[in-house]
Structure 1
Amino acid sequence: MKAKSISGKSPEEIQLALNTSLVDGFTPTVAFVFMSVKQDRKAVSEILARHNIDIFGATSCGEFVNGNQSSGEIAILLLDLAKDAYSILFEEIGMESMEETAKKVANSALSLFANPSLIVCSTGVTPSSELFDGIDLVHELSAALGKEKIFFGGMAGDDFNLTGTAVFTKNQETDHGLIAIVLDADRVSFNGMAITGWKRLGISRKVTQCKGKLLYTIDDKPAVDMYLNYLGKGKEGENREFDVLNELSFYYPFIVERDNGEDILIKSPMSIDYEENALVMDMEMIEGEKFWFAIPPDFDIVQEITDEASKVREELGQDADALLIFSCAGREPALGPLVTMENEGLAEIWNSPMAGFFTYGEFGRAKNCGQNFHSTACCWVALKEK
């Protein structure tokens, strides 16, 4: 399988880049398209469709290919994968439950190939501008596919607006649903990993009062006061203009241990509900749940991610044909240039064309763990046609 990555600031630039990529006889069959909501998805889809290229697309909070990281632009990974080695599925959730939607995708995948692997992208926010329930999706899809089946991916973004995201194919699009590319794992090897890197800060804490995504008290103390005071921002408690998400949460989320104790889940305060005097979380907290305040990784996170990828690469003894990266939108503001170093380092290790985007949540397996939903993770997957 041959792959090439292209990027551009407009559909016109994508047309030029695509034309250049085809000069040597390269004939891609499928494109992973990650692009800003500001860009013209229809125009880009029509450009690719004219060359009979299938599309797996998602809107982004920033996008990247080898040597270029952008915001508000378009990133594409082109593959000449055999048509009978993959299939693209599209599901609009609408009034269906997550369980029903996941079963549809799983049943289709299992009917297509005896040994399927999937790359999955969901929308990132619901039509009511709530964050999409990535935990439920991963749980239901993993249960329907079987625990041994592997999938990686992420939730679409919208340039941090949190108002509307989309996933799309060559001729379908939804603001509440998911797409999946199902690969025949007997013909395409599929290796990946999700790593967060955030570290515990201080002692463990306990959720003592919460309701849904509203967190009222931590260790029987007002959650808003404790969070702000602990991080030296207590004076902001009465400032209704204070942006909790951008000022604090990207850097200092909460670490929750998963049940197996070998992996963590990051949960983040999104805002303050001043009427309820509560933190509004991105995911529900559970009364009695133990967690830690957290601090972002330092330079060693790049080494950790590339070291783990190197071990996988060495065990396989071969480069990848293509590399996809789903990196949390919170990593870029929290880690700055380290994010670029992560992405470029992974592409260098796998010696392959790469594309990815900044997401509202990631799907994949952490080291020695099962299928999970992640937040603040760098989630990569390397593909190699056998």
Structure 2
Amino acid sequence: MRVQQLILKNRADIDAALAPLAAMTPDLVLVFGACPYFATPDLTAALRRQLPGAVIAGCSTAGEIAGKRVHDDSCVITAIRFAHTTVAIADAIICDMADSHDTGERLAQALPHDGLTAVFMLGTGVAINGSALIAGLQANLPPGVTVSGGLAADGGAFLQTWTLGPRGAADNTIVAVGLYGERIRLGYGSHAGWEAFGPARKVTRCVDNVLYGLDGARALDIYKLYLGDHARDLPASGLLFPFEMLTAAHEKSNVFRTILAVDEEQGSLTLAGDILADGYLRLMHSSTNRLIDGAETAARGVAPHADAQGDQLALLVSCVGRKLVMGDRAEEEVEAVADLLGGAACIAGFYSNGEIGIAQPHGACQLHNQTMTVTVLSEA
């Protein structure tokens, strides 16, 4: 397995910039970039001209990750040539949020199943129920197939996000990359680093990922009470104050939910994924140091593969809310992960509207918010 990476800082002469990647004839190319790279056909056309034999997948971001650095307004392109692994790609159009589960089903059915080991999925970051999407996908994949990935972002605007796949760049399409073979090696880690403030509140009314009531009161009213002056900046300020989901027995689920939208008339909050209808929600906040510690915890569970032949690739998907909290120190969480991986892997990734991954070994794939999620990929 060979990995090569480049960073585009402008959209001029993309063909020439891609020449080093074309020389290695990659099997898979992952593209994470700012929205303007996807809003015109130039990048997609150049990728198809220069890399005609490669599977190409990507999405828009709230910040691009390459090596130990976090970039803005750039495009990180990572090319992978496998020795023993084959790759397939599928996509599916999502009609609206209610179509999320069915879209996941269609996506899983579009991927060939024979020999499928893992799926890397990139979804739209607005008008989507991420947990329903994952549920639909997983229910229609062969047993034992792992899923990771993330939801596209648009710099925290929550207006229009992009994915890149067989149809080119689109704002209404989910993309899934299938990895096939017995010699692919994958490791996963995910952790948050947020702390609670205020009591747990009982979910008294919700429909899927729309929260209407907490403790018998309108959910938006309760939320604004805690946010104080930050409430005037909703929904964007909701990235700084996610919910942690608790079970009916007040047990931690280690799953967080970010606010995607608010409805002043109905007093509701639209969250990035489904809510436990009989559970509790607790408001969270954090500091830069706690978030960096959380990123380190995610990386500790993903040791570099001792039997790796050739290069390794670490895919980092972190939440836009974490980036907003950390500000200029956002690179420190990426550095923390890179240091723990010990320089053994090429690092690529992005800041997202939702992270898809496994929180602990042999755990189920879930939609996460406000986490650092790490996937390490190699071949034996």
TM-score after normalising by structure 2: 0.84
Aligned to 1:365: 358
Query: For the structure 1 residues 272 and 311, does the alpha-carbon distance in structure 2 shift closer, same or farther, using more than 3 Å as the test?
Result: closer
Q: Following the alignment from structure 2 to structure 1, what is the Cα–Cα distance between the partners of residues 364 and 129? A: 18
Partner SS state of residue 28, structure 1: coil
Deviates more, 1:356-365 or 1:62-71: 62-71
Contact 1:110 1:116 in 2 (8 A): no
Between the aligned partners of 1:123 and 1:93, the Cα distance in structure 2 is: 9
Letter in 1 for 2:121: V
Look up the equivalent residue of 1:28 and give its one-letter code. Answer: P
Counterpart contact for 1:77–1:354, Cα < 8 Å? no
Q: In the TM superposition, what whole-angstrom CA distance separates every residue of 1:91-115 from its partner, at most 9, and x where no partner exists?
A: 224599545443343344453x324
Structure-2 residue corresponding to 1:86: 87
Instruction: Give the fraction of aligned pairs with identical amino acids, expressed as a percent.
Output: 22
User: Partners in 1 of 2:375 and 2:210 — Cα distance?
Assistant: 34
The match for 1:321 among 267, 289, 312 is: 312
Aligned pairs for 1:162-311 (under 5 A) are 162-169=158-165, 171-210=167-206, 215-233=211-229, 242-247=232-237, 249-257=238-246, 261=251, 263-270=253-260, 272-279=262-269, 281-283=271-273, 285=275, 288-311=278-301
Partners of 2:270 and 2:99 in 1: CA distance = 24
Q: For 2:91, what is the secondary structure of its paired residue?
A: strand
Q: Please say if residues 102 and 140 of structure 1, whose CA atoms lie closer than 8 Å, have aligned partners that are also in contact.
A: yes
1:376 aligns with 2:367: no
2:65 counterpart letter in structure 1: F
Change in CA separation of 1:385 and 1:195 when aligned onto 2, cut-off 3 Å: same
Select the residue among 362, 368, 385 that pairs with 2:379.
385
Aligned to 2:104: 102
**Counterpart Cα distance in 1 of 2:190 and 2:305:** 18
**1:109-120 maps to which residues of 2 (within 5 A)?**
109-111=111-113, 113-120=114-121
Aligned to 1:2: 2
Instruction: Give distance in 2, aligned partners of 1:184 and 1:142.
Output: 16
Kindly indicate whether the alpha-carbon contact (under 8 Å) linking 2:317 and 2:352 is maintained by their aligned counterparts in 1.
yes
**Structure 1 unaligned regions, length at least 5:** none
Which AA in structure 2 matches 1:105? Answer: L
Which residue type is aligned with residue 125 of structure 2?
G
**Structure 1 position 286, deviation (Å):** 5.9
Kindly indicate whether the alpha-carbon contact (under 8 Å) linking 1:85 and 1:187 is maintained by their aligned counterparts in 2. Answer: no
Question: How far does residue 43 in structure 1 lie from its aligned partner after superposition?
Answer: 1.7
Q: Residues 309-348 of structure 1: matches in 2 within 5 Å?
A: 309-313=299-303, 316=306, 321-348=312-339
Q: Which of the numbers 33, 36, 51 marks the counterpart of 2:34?
A: 36
What amino acid sits opposite 1:254 in the alignment?
F
For the 8 Å contact 1:110–1:145, the answer to whether it is kept is: no
Instruction: Give SS of 2:122's match.
Output: strand
Tell me: CA distance 1:15–1:2, structure 2 relative to 1, closer, same or farther (3 Å). Answer: same
Cα distance in structure 1, aligned partners of 2:99 and 2:75? 32
Q: For 1:55, what is the secondary structure of its paired residue?
A: strand
Question: CA separation of 1:217/1:263 partners in 2, compared to 1, >3 Å: closer, same or farther?
Answer: closer
* Offset at residue 152 of structure 1 (A): 0.3
1:90 and 1:105 map into 2 onto residues whose CA distance is 6
Say whether the 8 Å CA contact 2:186–2:377 is kept in structure 1.
yes
Contact 2:88 2:178 in 1 (8 A): yes
Alpha carbons of structure 1 residues 362 and 281: separation in structure 2 relative to 1, 3 Å: closer
- String of CA shifts for 1:67-95, please: whole Å, max 9, x gaps: 43222221111112259611122222459
CA distance in 2, matches of 1:97, 1:276: 22
Q: CA separation in 1, counterparts of 2:263 and 2:217? A: 16
Tell me how far apart the structure 1 counterparts of residues 248 and 184 of structure 2 sit (CA, whole Å). Answer: 32
- Cα distance in 2, alignment partners of residues 136 and 151 from structure 1: 14
What is aligned with 1:66?
67
User: Scaled by the length of structure 1, what TM-score is found?
Assistant: 0.83
User: How far does residue 59 in structure 1 lie from its aligned partner after superposition?
Assistant: 1.7
Task: Give the distance between the partners of 2:375 and 2:58, measured in 1 at CA.
Answer: 16
Aligned Cα root-mean-square deviation (Å): 3.2
- Give the AA of the match of 2:333: E
Question: How big is each residue's C-alpha offset from its partner over 1:272-294, in whole Å with a ceiling of 9 and x where there is no partner?
Answer: 54434444545565665311111
**After the TM superposition, which of the residue ranges 148-157 and 200-209 deviates more from structure 2?**
200-209
The number of residue pairs the alignment matches comes to: 371
Query: Secondary structure in 2 aligned to 1:313?
Result: coil
> Structure 2: which 5+ runs fail to align?
none
